[in-house]
Structure 1
Amino acid sequence: MKMHFYDDQEVDKVATQFFKYYYHDRGKMKWSGFLLSEHTAALNKEMDKEHNDSPQK
């Protein structure tokens, strides 16, 4: 199989056609039920802060 290289004009044409007719963005469905690593890190940092700020018994 031979690899095809595109010039700038062909790249735009192929990309436009792909996103117009073939690509289906799943949006939120893709992430439902999953936490992103940045969100998880922020939650952990907040929980640590709350734990450290609470008075010791």
Structure 2
Amino acid sequence: MAAMKPRTGDGPLETERSIHGTVLRIPLEGGGRMVLELRDEELETLFDVVQQAVAEREAR
């Protein structure tokens, strides 16, 4: 079971490296941020998916 952590405040989209991988903080509509901790392989997969979405948007 995940540990309960205090809710982070609103803030910018940001990343930072940790000993476990990369922490990604995404601001959410309505307040707060979603915090993801990604291993390097997961980060590369996310990068590929986002890059593909941007390319599709630019093709329109």
Output the TM-score relative to the length of structure 2.
Answer: 0.35
- Kindly indicate which of the two structures has a greater share of residues assigned to strand: 2
Greater RCO between the two (CA within 8 Å, min separation 6)?
Answer: 2
Look at both structures and tell me which one has the larger radius of gyration over its CA atoms.
1
- Kindly indicate which of the two structures has a greater share of residues assigned to helix: 1
Output the TM-score relative to the length of structure 1.
Answer: 0.37
